[in-house]
């Protein structure tokens, strides 16, 4: 459940354009456990 909440929080930050540095760092940690997130954010960049 924490992973899902983190993804939603990061997605919200990216959408608002705030705390990009933090979200990117957190995304790297999450992508280790979720290829879907890696693909999602890789496409976003």
* Token output for 32: 């280790």
Q: What is the per-residue pLDDT for 8?
A: 79
Each domain of the chain, given as residue ranges in start order, spans: 2-44
Cα 31 to Cα 16: distance, rounded to the nearest angstrom: 21
Q: What is the per-residue pLDDT for 6?
A: 77
Place of tokens 């608002």: 16
Q: What is the per-residue pLDDT for 32?
A: 54
pTM given for the model: 0.27
Q: Using one digit for the tens of pLDDT, what is the confidence trace for 1-45? A: 577 777 777 777 677 665 555 555 555 555 555 566 556 665 554
């Amino acid at each position: 459940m924490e992973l899902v909440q983190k993804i939603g929080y990061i997605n919200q930050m990216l959408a608002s354009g705030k705390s990009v540095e933090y979200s990117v760092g957190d995304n790297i940690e999450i992508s280790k456990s979720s290829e879907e997130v890696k693909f999602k954010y890789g496409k976003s960049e």
